[in-house]
Copies of this chain bind each other. A is one copy, B any other.
Amino acid sequence: MCTAFQCHGYFGRNLDLETGFQEEVVVTPRFYNFPFKNGTDFKNQYALIGMATVVEDYPLYAEAMNEKGLCMAGLYFPDNAHYFDQEDKKLNLTPYELIPYFLGQYQSVHEIKSIIHQLHIINIPFLPQMPLAPLHWIIADQNESLILESTKTGLQIYEDSLHILTNNPPYPYHHWNVHHYMHLTSAYPQDNLIHQNMKPYGNGLGTVGLPGDYSPASRFIKALWLKDNAKMSDCEHENISQIFHILDAVAMVKGSVKTMKNQDDYTVYSCCMSMDQLTYYYKTYDNNQIQGIQMKKLDLQASQLYIFILNRQQNIQYYETA
């Protein structure tokens, strides 16, 4: 399943699945044509960068960032996601149209908050043979986040001060669950138990109780705890390193979790989007080296999509030994 969060101007995301989805890093230049299912043709004012499958020249983004550093990701939300028939006087969008629509024309979560209530997520697949994935979304800039969940009771919009999302259960579960971990501490703990001035036998004892399993609820807590305690700096490389360490801590290792069909659920890729540098960094399950694509270096007035094929081969740097 997945983990996504915003942390000090970086947006990190693990994509966990049984298999890849022909994903590539795709940059959509400005004013690219998105034929929407509600009958309108949408053109994006801001360029986008993110991981996507391209079908019929249409980038189906898993997550993306626009030129203003606004980020959005769709995460798996099985059994709970519900999409509706089209309805008049609403902002009718299919799930895969949300990212181009919101990132294509808004600069901030603040802007989106004023129109998001008109949103009505509709049940039209991109192609008849491509059923819609059940998703929920996080939209984040450096200051604010929104969570969107379209369920049988309609669209739920949560202003999210935690800046993080995983999967099921619906978001309010995670909000409440966080309270159960508020007393844990990265600090050297005191003896509240036997009141005999017992000393920790090692480091990390104030963190006992942090979950390490792979349920979405536990990945939410572990990643939240790490990002809210992470030491950040002024150095882009150090910060990227921190984001990937946090993602690594909740990444799924092949063999550790089986799906209902007994397949391996694993972290297909991890990415980190720098809201400031407008760079998309990623690494794949099989290649530890971080790959970077810099939107600032591209001509964003281009007419075609930029497509960057993933480097999945483990690129080990061997020392010269002769």
Residues on A facing B (Cβ under 8 Å): 1, 16, 25, 78-79, 161-162, 167-170, 172-173, 176-196, 198, 200-219, 222, 224-226, 228-231, 237-238, 240-242, 244-246, 248-249, 251-260, 262, 264-265, 267, 281, 283, 285-294, 297-298, 306, 308, 311, 313-319, 321-322
Q: A193-B228, A242-B254, A297-B321 are in contact. Are A179 and B198 (CB under 8 A)?
A: yes
A79/B201 in contact, CB under 8 A: yes
B217/A180 in contact, CB under 8 A: yes
A198/B213 in contact, CB under 8 A: no
B201/A179 in contact, CB under 8 A: yes
Subset of 13 A-B contacts with CB under 8 Å: A179-B200, A180-B205, A180-B208, A180-B215, A208-B218, A210-B211, A212-B222, A225-B256, A231-B255, A242-B255, A249-B251, A290-B317, A291-B318
A-B interface, 4 closest residue pairs, ranked by CB to CB distance from nearest: A212-B212, A204-B214, A209-B209, A231-B255
Bound together, the chains give a CA A258 to CA B186 distance in angstroms of 6
Task: Tell me which residues across on chain B come within 8 A of A258, comparing CB atoms.
Answer: 186-188, 203
Q: A193-B224, A251-B248 are in contact. Are A176 and B178 (CB under 8 A)?
A: no
Task: Tell me which residues across on chain B come within 8 A of A237, comparing CB atoms.
Answer: 286, 313-314, 316
Return the contact of A288 from the options B161, B169, B176, B241 (Cβ within 8 A). Answer: B241
Task: Tell me which residues across on chain B come within 8 A of A180, comparing CB atoms.
Answer: 205, 208, 215, 217
Return the contact of A208 from the options B183, B198, B267 (Cβ within 8 A). Answer: B183
Task: Tell me which residues across on chain B come within 8 A of A167, comparing CB atoms.
Answer: 202
Bound together, the chains give a CA A298 to CA B217 distance in angstroms of 49
Task: Tell me which residues across on chain B come within 8 A of A192, comparing CB atoms.
Answer: 182-187
Task: Tell me which residues across on chain B come within 8 A of A181, comparing CB atoms.
Answer: 193, 208
Task: Tell me which residues across on chain B come within 8 A of A215, comparing CB atoms.
Answer: 180, 202, 204-205, 207-208
Most buried by B among A181, A188, A193: A193
